[in-house]
């Protein structure tokens, strides 16, 4: 019997497996895909903080990002640039492989090509039922299980842990580009309802173009690609699309008897940008810490694992709440209002002030959102929209 079975070999799963194996536990990761390096529908942008904190292997980094061009619905441009790299674009498939190799080097077993169909929690163990693609059902046992199955897993719901409260859909394609050497972000409810679109150069002639949207991401992405072709930014619209979902709110409960849920499966994702790699890795470490204490004492009841949720909410809870509020507020804005906000940000020098501020960070957006709603020049638009802001979050508002 293993000490821990982790379901899902994405970043969160491989990280929690690595941390537990490094503490001497017998760990297995069960993954439905045939190989660890299969393509992932993800742009792979992670912050400098993430690269440093998790000692990300330089081999998987495609390029550095120290600037971005953000376009309003009518084409107004905000150019954001800092001297130091703020983020890195990683090859997402290679990134998954690198994290898995690190876990394997600590002795973690990987079972591939084996979708987990069910999990049964018993008094002394947890039983994982998995199927090979040949159809044969197998099972394995562990003292505890970690679900790291990404967005939309049915496993979580089946275990009575609820479902993520809200989500958005994404589509992405890899394209050939012409003279695009900065990250570009496009805003507009007509372009990507409730969210945004991007063109992210990964090499001198290649880029990822994608968007997140409340509805029909594929339709909006095809439209965007035609527009980028007409602008001479991309060479062709002939590219296959990949699709994925992103949770905007956390799962109702992220632990149970002998169980924990981490990463996108738990909704540990920035609701502002949809980025989930860094928060997933942070929570994987917190899950491993709690599980280590519980395994050591052999006290694996839900009550004893609850401190995992307390810990990750202490670190990320406020960010997720304020970020979700910001996201919902953005959703209420018309394209004209987004344009007005752009105009004010530029004319009042808010962009310059934000770039100089220490709290403008790739990963932590709550404080900037609070600053913006407190800004006098923008307050007219914010008041007009009457956003349903939770009053307790107004604490710390900087006006
Ligand atoms: C279009 C798009 C762009 C994105 N861009 C970024 C970005 O630039 N930066 C960023 O930080 N985040 C980005 N994200 C989000 C990011 O991809 C996720 O937050 C991240 O992959 C979550 O990691 P994870 O380990 O929790 O889950 P995943 O990476 O989804 O891994 C889950 C793994 O579990 C496996 N699995 C699922 N069910 C089972 C089962 N029943 N049995 C066995 N295995 C199973 C899956 O095959 C998968 O390998 C993007 C998402 C989308 C959709």
pLDDT in tens, 281-297: 999 999 999 999 999 99
Q: Could you tell me if the CB of 277 is within 6 A of ligand 1?
A: yes
Q: Could you tell me if the CB of 96 is within 6 A of ligand 1?
A: no
From the options 3.40.50.300, 3.50.50.60, 3.20.20.100, 3.40.190.10, give the CATH code of 2-44+91-164+249-316.
3.50.50.60
CATH class of this structure's domain 167-246? alpha beta
Q: Phi and psi at residue 358, in whole multiples of 5°?
A: -70, -25
Q: How far is the CA of 42 from the centre of ligand 1 (A)?
A: 7
> Nearest-CA neighbor of 146 among 308, 260, 310?
260
> Nearest-CA neighbor of 260 among 230, 277, 232, 280?
280
Residues 6+ apart with CB under 8 A from 92: 39, 40, 42, 43, 44
The pLDDT value recorded for residue 350 is 73
| Pocket-testing residue among 6, 10, 41, ligand 1, by greatest number of atoms within 8 A of Cβ | 10
* Residue-averaged pLDDT of the chain: 89
Q: How far is the CA of 123 from the centre of ligand 1 (A)?
A: 31
The pLDDT value recorded for residue 154 is 86
Is the pLDDT reported for residue 349 higher than 80? no
Percent of the chain with pLDDT over 70: 89
Is the pLDDT reported for residue 364 higher than 80? no
User: Residue 377: pLDDT band by 50, 70, 90 thresholds?
Assistant: low
Is the pLDDT reported for residue 117 higher than 80? yes
Residues 6+ apart with CB under 8 A from 37: 93, 94, 96, 97
Tell me the whole-structure pTM to 2 decimals.
0.93
Ramachandran sector of residue 55 (left: φ over 0; alpha: ψ -120 to 50; beta: rest) = left
Task: Check if the beta carbon of residue 149 is closer than 8 Å to that of residue 118.
Answer: no
The pLDDT value recorded for residue 396 is 41
User: Residue 200: pLDDT band by 50, 70, 90 thresholds?
Assistant: very high
Q: Could you tell me if the CB of 44 is within 6 A of ligand 1?
A: yes
Q: Residue range 8-26: average pLDDT?
A: 98
Inter-CA distances, 297 with 292, 294, 308, Å: 9, 5, 16
Burial environment of residue 288 by CB neighbours within 10 A (0 to 12, 13 to 18, 19 or more): buried
Task: Check if the beta carbon of residue 270 is closer than 8 Å to that of residue 365.
Answer: yes
Q: How far is the CA of 288 from the centre of ligand 1 (A)?
A: 19
Q: Could you tell me if the CB of 153 is within 6 A of ligand 1?
A: yes
Q: Could you tell me if the CB of 8 is within 6 A of ligand 1?
A: yes
**Lowest mean pLDDT across 341-350, 352-361, 381-390:** 381-390
Is the pLDDT reported for residue 394 higher than 70? no
Counting atoms of ligand 1 from 1, which one is nearest the CA of 155? Answer: 41
Q: Could you tell me if the CB of 32 is within 6 A of ligand 1?
A: yes
Domain ranges of the chain: 2-44+91-164+249-316, 167-246, 320-394
Q: Could you tell me if the CB of 116 is within 6 A of ligand 1?
A: yes
Q: Residue range 4-15: average pLDDT?
A: 98
Q: How far is the CA of 355 from the centre of ligand 1 (A)?
A: 30
The pLDDT value recorded for residue 135 is 61
Counting atoms of ligand 1 from 1, which one is nearest the CA of 269? Answer: 19
Q: Positive or negative, the Cα torsion across 57, 63, 69, 73?
A: negative
Q: Could you tell me if the CB of 119 is within 6 A of ligand 1?
A: no
The pLDDT value recorded for residue 391 is 44
The pLDDT value recorded for residue 355 is 67
């Amino acid at each position: 019997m293993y000490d821990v079975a982790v379901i899902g070999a994405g970043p969160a799963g491989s990280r929690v497996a690595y941390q537990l194996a490094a503490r001497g536990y017998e760990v297995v990761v069960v993954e439905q895909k045939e190989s660890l390096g299969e393509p992932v529908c993800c742009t792979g942008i992670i912050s400098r903080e993430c690269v440093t904190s998790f000692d990300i292997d330089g081999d998987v980094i495609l390029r550095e990002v120290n600037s971005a061009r953000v376009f309003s619905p009518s084409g107004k441009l905000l150019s954001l640039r800092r001297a130091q790299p703020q983020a890195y674009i990683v090859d997402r498939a290679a990134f998954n492989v690198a994290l898995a190799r690190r876990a394997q080097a600590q002795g973690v077993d990987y079972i591939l090509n084996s979708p987990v169909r069910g999990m049964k929690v018993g008094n002394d163990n947890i039983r994982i039922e998995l199927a090979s693609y040949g159809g044969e059902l197998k099972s394995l046992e562990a003292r505890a299980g970690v679900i790291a199955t990404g967005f939309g897993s049915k496993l979580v719901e089946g275990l009575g842990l609820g479902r993520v409260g809200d989500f958005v859909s994404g589509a992405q394609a890899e394209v050939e580009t012409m003279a695009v050497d900065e990250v570009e972000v496009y805003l507009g409810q007509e372009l990507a309802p409730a969210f945004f679109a991007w063109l992210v150069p990964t090499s001198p002639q290649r880029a990822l173009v994608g968007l997140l949207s409340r509805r029909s991401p594929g339709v909006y992405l095809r439209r965007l690609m035609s527009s980028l072709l007409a602008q001479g930014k991309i060479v062709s619209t002939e590219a296959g699309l990949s699709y994925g979902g992103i949770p905007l709110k956390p799962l109702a409960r992220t632990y149970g008897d002998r169980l924990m849920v981490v990463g996108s499966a738990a909704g540990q994702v920035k609701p502002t940008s949809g980025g989930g790699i860094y928060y997933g890795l942070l929570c994987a470490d917190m899950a491993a810490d709690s599980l280590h204490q519980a395994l050591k004492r052999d006290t694996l009841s839900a009550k004893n694992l609850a401190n995992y949720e307390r810990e990750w909410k202490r670190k990320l809870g406020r960010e997720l709440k304020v970020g979700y509020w910001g996201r919902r507020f953005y959703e209420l804005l018309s394209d004209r209002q987004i344009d007005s906000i752009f105009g004010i940000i530029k004319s009042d020098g808010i962009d310059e002030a934000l770039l100089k501020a220490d709290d403008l960070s790739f990963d932590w957006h709550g404080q900037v959102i609070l600053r913006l709603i407190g800004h006098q020049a923008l307050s007219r638009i914010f008041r007009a929209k009457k956003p349903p802001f939770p009053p307790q979050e107004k604490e710390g508002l900087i006006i």
